[in-house]
Structure 1
Amino acid sequence: MPDHFTTLSIRMSEALDDSGAGQYTVMERRRTFMWRERMMMIHFQVLGDNFECFHFGSQSEGTTTPGLQSDIDFLVSQNDENIMKFWGDWEAGMRNLLMLHDDINTPQQYLLQLIREYTPEPETRLLNDLYVRKDTEQVLFSSERWKQDIEFRYKDSGEVTKCGPSVCWLPNWDMVYAMPVRKPLPEIQHWIDRCKGRYWPPVQLLDAAQVAPCFLVPAGHSDSDYKREEWRLSPNLIERMLMFSFNMTQIKCYIVLKLINKSLFAKIVGDSITSFHCKTIMFYSIERTHPSLWFEHHLMVLLRFCLHVLKKWLRMGRLPHYIIEGVNLLDGKLAKKKQRRLLVFIDSMIRNNLHDVFYIGIDNLGCRLRARSALRIGQDGELGRACLRNSMSLLLKFECLNVFLQFIMEVITYRLKKTNTNFEKTIQYKLRNLLEYSTNVRYKPVALEYIEHLYALQNSMQSSHCLRLRNVVHNETVRRFQYSLKTDVASSRLKLASLLYASGHLHSAVRVLEDVEKRYHSKVKTVCSCRDIKGDRDLLVFASMKSDNCDNGFNEPPFALCVKFVRQEAYCAPYILWFEMNRNITEEEVAQRTHSQNRFMDCAEVDARPFVHYLQYVTYRGLGERGKQLHAMGELESYICDPINQINLYHDETSLNLLGHCYEMEGDYERALHYYEESLSWFDTNNAANWHVQRVQRLISS
Structure 2
Amino acid sequence: MEFTTSKRANTERNQNHETHMQIQEHFTELSIRLSEVLDNSGAGKDTVMVRRGSYLWLERMANLHTQLTGYNFECFHFGSQSEGTTIPGLQSDIDILFSNNSVNIMRVWGDWEPGMENFMMLHDETTPPQQYLLQVISKETQKPETGLCDDTVRKDSRQVLYSAERYLSDLENTAKNIAETTKSGPSVSFIPNWDMVYAFHVRKPLHEILHWIDRCKCRHWPPVLLLEAASVSPCFLVPSGHPDSDYKREEWRLSPNLIERMLIFSFNMTQIKCYIVLKLIKKSLFAKIVGDSITSFHCKTIMFYTMERTHPSLWFEHNLMYLLLHCLRMLRTWLRFGRLPHYIIQGVNLFDGKLSKVKQRRLLVYIDSMIRNNLQDVFNIDIENIGCRLQGCYIRRIGQTRESERLFVCNSINIQLNYECFKTFLGWCKRIIQVNQINNSNTTFEKTIQYVLRNAVECSTNARLKNVALVFLKHVHRLQNSMQSSDCLRLRKVVTKQLIRRFQYSLNTDVASSHLKLASVLYCSGHIIAAVRVLEDVERRFHNRVKAVCECRSIEGQSDLHVFANMSSGNSDKGFSESPFSLCVKFVTEEAYCVPTILLFEMNRNITKEEVTLRTNVEILWMGSAEVDARPFLHYLQYLTYGGLSDRDNQLHALRALGSYIYNIRNINKINLYHLETALNMLGHCHEMEGEYDRALDNYEISLGICGTNNAANWHVRRVLRLISG
1:44 matches 2:66: yes
- Once the two structures are superposed, what CA deviation does each residue of 1:452-506 show, in whole Å capped at 9, x if it has no partner? 0011111111111111111110000000000001100000000000000010000
The whole-number CA distance in structure 2 between the counterparts of 1:413 and 1:108 is 38
TM (norm. structure 2) is 0.94
- 1:475-486 alignment, distance < 5 Å: 475-486=497-508
Q: Is the 8 A contact 1:394 1:542 kept in 2?
A: yes
Equivalent runs, 1:99-110 vs 2, <5 Å = 99-110=121-132
Q: Cα offset for 1:552? A: 13
Q: How do 1:427-506 residues align onto structure 2 when only pairs under 5 Å count?
A: 427-506=449-528
Instruction: Check conservation: 1:546, 1:558, Cα contact below 8 A.
Output: no
The answer as to whether partners of 1:258 and 1:275 remain within 8 angstroms in 2 is yes
SS of residue paired to 2:240? coil
What residue identity is the alignment partner of 1:70?
Answer: S
Q: Indicate which of 619, 626, 637 corresponds to 1:615.
A: 637
SS in 2 for 1:4: helix
Q: Mapping of 1:341-420 within 5 angstroms?
A: 341-371=362-392, 379-409=400-430, 412-413=433-434, 416=437, 419-420=441-442
The match for 1:655 among 662, 665, 679 is 679
- Looking at structure 1, the residues matched to 357 and 572 of structure 2 have their Cα atoms a distance apart, in angstroms, of 59
Checking the alignment, whether the CA contact within 8 Å between 2:512 and 2:582 is kept in structure 1 is yes
Residues 1:670 and 2:694 are matched in the alignment: yes
1:331, CA displacement in angstroms? 1.2
Aligned to 1:614, the other structure's residue is in SS state helix
Aligned residues of 2:98 and 2:197 also touching (Cα < 8 A):
yes
Of residues 357, 360, 366, the one that matches 1:339 is 360
Deviation at 1:550, TM superposition (A): 7.3
CA distance in 2, matches of 1:387, 1:585: 49
2:104 to 76, 82, 85: 82
Change in Cα spacing, 1:245 to 1:303, as seen in structure 2 (3 Å) is same
Measure, in 1, the Cα distance between the counterparts of 2:280 and 2:112. Answer: 47
Report the secondary structure of 2:442's partner residue.
coil
Q: Distance in 2 between matches of 1:228 and 1:160?
A: 20
Aligned to 1:113, the other structure's residue is in SS state strand
Helix, strand or coil for the counterpart of 1:54?
Answer: strand
Q: Match of 2:705?
A: 681
Letter in 1 for 2:677: E
Check the 8 A contact 1:180/1:215 in 2, yes or no. Answer: yes
Q: Distance in 1 between matches of 2:161 and 2:603?
A: 48
Q: What residue ranges of structure 1 are gaps of 5+ in the alignment?
A: none
Candidates 499, 515, 521, aligned match of 2:537: 515
Alignment partners' CA distance in 2, 1:556 and 1:512: 17
Structure 2 Cα separation of the partners of residues 495 and 378 of structure 1: 43
Change (3 A) 1:410 1:646: farther
2:229 pairs, out of 193, 199, 208, with 208
- Between the two proteins, the alignment pairs up a number of residues equal to 699
2:685 touches 2:696 (CA, 8 Å); kept in 1?
A: yes
The counterpart of 2:197, out of the listed 170, 173, 176, is 176
C-alpha spacing 1:549/1:391, structure 2 compared with 1 (3 Å):
closer
Report the equivalent of 1:631.
Answer: 653
Indicate which of 597, 600, 605 corresponds to 2:622.
600
- Partner amino acid for 2:429? I
Which residue of structure 1 lines up, in the alignment, with residue 186 of structure 2?
Answer: 165
Distance 1:615 1:568, change over 3 A: same
Check the 8 A contact 2:524/2:596 in 1, yes or no. Answer: yes
The equivalent residue for 1:125 is 147
Q: In 2 relative to 1, CA 480–553 (structure 1 residues): closer, same or farther, beyond 3 Å?
A: farther
Residue 87 of structure 2 is aligned with which of 65, 72, 76? 65
TM-aligned CA deviation for residue 153 of structure 1: 0.6
Shift of 1:440: 2.7
Q: CA deviation at 1:343?
A: 1.4
Cα gap change, 1:530 to 1:410, in 2 (>3 Å): farther
1:554 Cα offset (Å)? 7.0
Q: Which residue of 2 is the match for residue 219 of structure 1?
A: 240
Aligned match of 2:159 = 138
Residue 33 (structure 2) aligns with:
11
**Aligned residue type for 1:544:** N
The answer (yes or no) to whether the contact 1:531–1:650 under 8 Å persists in 2 is yes
Alignment CA distance shift 1:410-1:513 (3 Å): farther
Q: Deviations over 1:112-132 (max 9, x none)?
A: 011011111101112x31111
Q: Provide the secondary structure at the position in 1 that maps to 2:24.
A: coil
- Report 1:570-585 matches (<5 A): 570-585=592-607
Q: Hey, what does 1:526 align to over in structure 2?
A: 548
1:110 aligns to what SS in structure 2? strand
Change beyond 3 A, Cα 1:379–1:591: closer
1:437: how far off? 2.4
421-430 or 74-83, which deviates more: 421-430
Secondary structure of the residue that 2:391 maps to in structure 1?
helix
> Contact 1:657–1:689 at 8 Å: present in 2 too?
yes
RMSD, aligned CA: 1.8
Among 221, 226, 229, the residue aligned to 2:250: 229
Match of 1:91 in 2: 113
Unaligned runs of 5+ in 2: 1-22
Q: Distance in 2 between matches of 1:687 and 1:191?
A: 61
Q: Would you identify which runs of 4 or more consecutive aligned residues in structure 1 move more than 4 Å?
A: 550-554
Q: What does the per-residue CA deviation read over 1:207-243, in whole Å, with 9 as the maximum and x for residues that have no partner?
A: 1111111100000000111100000000000000000
Give the secondary structure class of the aligned counterpart of 1:82: strand
Whether 1:588 and 2:588 are equivalent positions in the alignment is no
CA contact (8 A) 1:518 1:552 kept: no
Greater Cα offset, 400-409 or 435-444: 435-444
Distance 1:260 1:180 in 2: 34
The aligned residue for residue 242 of structure 1 is: 263
Percent of counterpart pairs with the same letter?
67
Q: Does 1:701 align with 2:725?
A: yes
Task: Give yes or no for contact 1:114–1:139 (8 Å, CA) kept in 2.
Answer: yes
Shift of the 552–239 alpha-carbon distance from structure 1 to 2, 3 Å rule, reads closer
User: Partner of 1:278 in structure 2?
Assistant: 299
Instruction: Give the match's secondary structure for 1:543.
Output: helix
Partner of 1:326: 347
Distance 1:551 1:19 in 2: 19
User: Whole-Å Cα distance in 2 between the matches of residues 410 and 530 of structure 1?
Assistant: 12
1:56 to 52, 56, 78: 78
Distance in 2, Cα, partners of 1:305 & 1:104: 36
Distance verdict in 2 for CA 1:552–1:52, change over 3 Å: closer
- TM-score where L is the length of structure 1: 0.97
CA displacement 1:637-670 (0-9 Å, x = unmatched): 1111112212200000000111111111112111
Instruction: After TM superposition, give the deviation of residue 545 of structure 1 in Å.
Output: 1.4
Please give the per-residue CA displacement for 1:152-186, whole angstroms capped at 9, x wherever unaligned.
Answer: 01113333222111111222111111111111111
Amino acid at match of 2:474: E
Using the alignment, how far apart are the partners of 2:631 and 2:301 within structure 1? 49
- Is the CA contact (8 Å cut-off) linking 2:408 and 2:568 kept in structure 1? no
What secondary structure is seen at the aligned counterpart in 1 of 2:685? helix
Aligned-pair CA distance for 1:315 = 1.0
1:305-320 to 2 correspondences below 5 Å: 305-320=326-341
Instruction: Indicate conservation of the 8 Å contact 1:519/1:554, yes or no.
Output: no
| Contact persistence 1:321–1:329 (CA under 8 A) | yes
2:452 partner letter: K
